[in-house]
């Protein structure tokens, strides 16, 4: 008999929350990586708790798949235009990462980040205050190519480094955590959430950190003229 969503983990509406802002992120996204610091800063500045959630991108399903070895592409189902877009995206994310004194190296394959993203749910459940530490540990190391985020012992180590007990995480990531994660993922696309970071404010999703000025304006009481999109620098 297959596992089902338990009564202790109710179905999550992708666009609804008690928090004024939902933030969808994925450990394997370079754009989410460079959005973490300005989003955490916004959360601190407003003194509110954002509702952080995982959105594990199924990149191969829309951008094709690829695998590299020693920097060279050894397998690819991508078109040349898809490659150009992806190369631009990495170059773009890298220049903003550099401004935050962060290293960002291109990945050698499309990682399955679901376990590290279930780690977000675990940290939220165990000690919400340590979430920023978890992001700091996982994102920074992953983008320096130091982490195998498909290895449960590696993810447990990150959780511990973030100051949260990882005792029980393995069963969580195979059981309740996996069910909650997968149930949410199934409903994201239909709710208009197709990339990360995505911010949901007043039930409307906005993809990309360029919306942070607008979100800031909304959270500040909508005083004055609404700002245009802009990457925070």
Name the site residues for other proteins (rule: CB under 8 A): 58, 61-62, 81, 84-85, 88, 91-92, 95-96, 189-190, 192, 194-195, 204-208, 210-211, 214, 226, 228-233
Supply the minimum distance, in Å, between the C-beta of residue 86 and other proteins: 10
Of 84 and 144, CB closest to other proteins: 84
Supply the minimum distance, in Å, between the C-beta of residue 131 and other proteins: 26
Of 74 and 226, CB closest to other proteins: 226
Of 92 and 160, CB closest to other proteins: 92
Of 105 and 207, CB closest to other proteins: 207
Residues 15 and 11: their CA atoms lie apart, in Å, by 12
Supply the minimum distance, in Å, between the C-beta of residue 35 and other proteins: 12
Residue with tokens 């675990």: 122
Contacts of 231 (CB under 8 A, 6+ apart): 96, 209, 210
Supply the minimum distance, in Å, between the C-beta of residue 187 and other proteins: 12
Supply the minimum distance, in Å, between the C-beta of residue 144 and other proteins: 23
Supply the minimum distance, in Å, between the C-beta of residue 189 and other proteins: 6
Of 113 and 185, CB closest to other proteins: 185
Secondary structure of the chain in HEC code, one letter for each residue: CCCCCCCCCCCCCCCCCCCCEEEEECCCCHHHHHHHHHHHHHHHHHCCCCEEEECCCCHHHHHCCEEEECCEEEEECCCHHHHHHHHHHHHHHHHHHHHCCCCCCCCCECCCCHHHHHHHHHHHHHCHHHHHHHHHHHHHHHCCCCCCCCCHHHHHHHHHHCCCCCCCHHHHHHCHHHHHHHHHHHHHHHHCCCCCCEEEECCEEEECHHHHHHHHHHHCCCCCCCCCCCCCC
Of 70 and 228, CB closest to other proteins: 228
């Amino acid at each position: 008999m297959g596992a089902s969503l338990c009564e202790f983990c109710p179905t999550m509406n992708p666009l609804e929350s008690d928090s004024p802002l939902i933030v969808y992120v994925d450990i394997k996204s370079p754009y989410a990586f460079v959005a973490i610091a300005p989003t955490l800063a916004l959360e601190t500045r407003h003194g509110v708790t954002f509702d952080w959630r995982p959105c594990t991108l199924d990149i191969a399903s829309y951008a094709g798949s690829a695998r590299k070895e020693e920097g060279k592409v050894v397998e690819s189902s991508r078109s040349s235009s898809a490659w150009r877009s992806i190369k631009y995206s990495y170059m773009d994310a890298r220049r903003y990462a550099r401004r935050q004194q962060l290293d960002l190296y291109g990945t050698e394959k499309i990682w399955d980040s679901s376990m590290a993203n279930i780690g977000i749910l675990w940290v939220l459940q165990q000690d919400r205050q340590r979430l920023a530490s978890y992001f700091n540990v996982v994102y920074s190391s992953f983008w320096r190519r130091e982490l195998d985020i498909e290895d449960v012992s590696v993810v447990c180590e990150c959780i511990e480094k973030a100051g949260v007990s990882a005792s029980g995480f393995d069963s969580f990531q195979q059981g309740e955590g996996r069910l909650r994660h997968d149930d949410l993922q199934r409903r994201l696309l239909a709710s208009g959430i197709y990339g990360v970071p995505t911010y949901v404010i007043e039930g409307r999703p906005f993809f990309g950190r360029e919306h942070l000025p607008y979100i800031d304006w909304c959270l500040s009481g909508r005083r004055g003229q609404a700002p245009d999109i802009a990457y925070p620098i």
